[in-house]
Structure formats: structure tokens, C-alpha cells
Homo-oligomer: A and B are copies of this chain.
């Protein structure tokens, strides 16, 4: 296999262009950077993988994890120079491997048809690291899906994808949802909707988390607006025992999701 060595080729430019939201939306593709994400894509969703790019150094290091299973699945694995990979990627250190993938299709209908017990609904979340960490936490706690409102960060942007370390291939992530309609739909389906917010009157430990429920998580800086909280069944607060004023969004989501999974898997 001849290695791709020209960092100014059209192919490199078209991969790099996936760092732009408009290009992702037009092509329906996104870039996964780094071995963890690519390995999970190849393992769980090879149907989404369009091209795998790997440097000579990484090809040996990730032979068993990535190159062999990708080849066995009939995927296109391209050897590229370090310069080409760097030119393709948003990250400073893509660790020798990246993959172009199709954006997975998912819908609220499909998620609800499975009778989900635990869901997360993100609204107005802007920080990529927070969004990615919440998706990873939803995955770790066995949530059925992550739902994302239209006013949130694009979860297929490079920073979010990196911080999910592969969880995007583990559970459905439904994007572009209207927050009001989604909350109403969840409640109509018998799913309790719990707003996580520092202004909540009920403490996390006092809420029965065994029935099916969805956590609504809001913006990093200003939490959930009053009109969103008013749509929910309850507004729940994570307790603070020390002098800290608050938790960041990813921490609060992790605590809530672990409380849910603990209650549902006892």
C-alpha cells in the first residue's frame, strides 16, 4: 500500500474541512481522531467507517486493536505520513490514527421504542469538553441515549468527539431536538423528567431514581432557565457539603447518572 504523503492534496483538504460544522452537515461525515475513538468505531460501528488513516509508527502499535479488525471488516485503511495526519486533524497530537465516519442516524422515536430507563437531555450546553464528558458518563452508566437540544454544541465537532473517547459509537445520540417538545414527549411516554440544577428544591438523595427517567442538564454558566425547569417533573440539586459554590456540568451530570445507575442496578 502506497502511503499518502502530500499534506496539500485534495483528500487531506476534504478531511480537514470536516472540522467545520457546515461541511459536516453537508457531507453527513465527521472525523474521529486518536486510537480510542477509532478503535471503538471499528469495533462497534464499522458500518459508519468510511476511511481509516494510520501512520507507519501507529500501524504496528494498533495492529491488533485497529488495523487488523478494520481490514477484516473490509474497511479502507490508508497509510499516511505524520505530516498528512497532522494536516487532517484538529488535535495537536492525533496519536497516529484517525477515521472519517458517517454521522450515525438516530431518532427520538427509535430511542423511545426501546423503553429506555435512563436518558440524558442536554440543552444549551456550549463547552465541548463538558458535552463529551456527559456523553461518556451516560455511556458508563448504561443510559439508553443522549438527547441534545438544537441550542447546544455540535457533538460531532472535533473537541466533543475527542472527549467522548468512543462513546458516540456505543449509544444513540439524538441531536437537533426542540427542548419543549422533547420534554413533553418524554412525559407523555411515562418517563419522569428531572431537571438537574443548583436551584433545585429536592436533594438528589431524596429522589426515587428506580422508575424510568431523563436528566435535563443545562448551560455551564447559568444552568437551566426557569421556563425549562417549569416543564420538568422535579428540579433536583446535587448536595454540596463543603464551601464550593457549585459543581461543573460534567461533575454534576456524573453524580446524577451514577445515582440513577446505582438505584436501577441494585
Q: List 18 A-B contacts (CB under 8 A).
A: A36-B245, A44-B243, A136-B244, A139-B243, A139-B244, A140-B240, A140-B244, A141-B241, A141-B242, A142-B242, A165-B245, A166-B245, A167-B243, A167-B244, A238-B258, A254-B254, A254-B255, A255-B255
Q: Do the beta carbons of B44 and A262 come within 8 Å of each other?
A: no
Residues of A within 8 A of B (CB): 36, 40, 44, 129, 133, 136-143, 165-167, 170-171, 205, 238-248, 250-251, 254-255, 258, 261-262, 265
Docked Cα-Cα span, A136 to B245, in Å, equals: 9
Q: Do the beta carbons of A247 and B171 come within 8 Å of each other?
A: no
Docked Cα-Cα span, A20 to B244, in Å, equals: 27
Most buried by B among A240, A250, A258: A258
Residues of B within 8 A of A166 (CB): 244-245
Q: Do the beta carbons of A140 and B250 come within 8 Å of each other?
A: no
Shortest C-beta distance, A34 to chain B (Å), equals: 12
Q: Do the beta carbons of A140 and B261 come within 8 Å of each other?
A: no
Q: Do the beta carbons of B247 and A136 come within 8 Å of each other?
A: yes
- CB contact between A170 and one of B133, B244, B265 (< 8 Å): that residue: B244
- CB contact between A250 and one of B171, B245, B250 (< 8 Å): that residue: B250
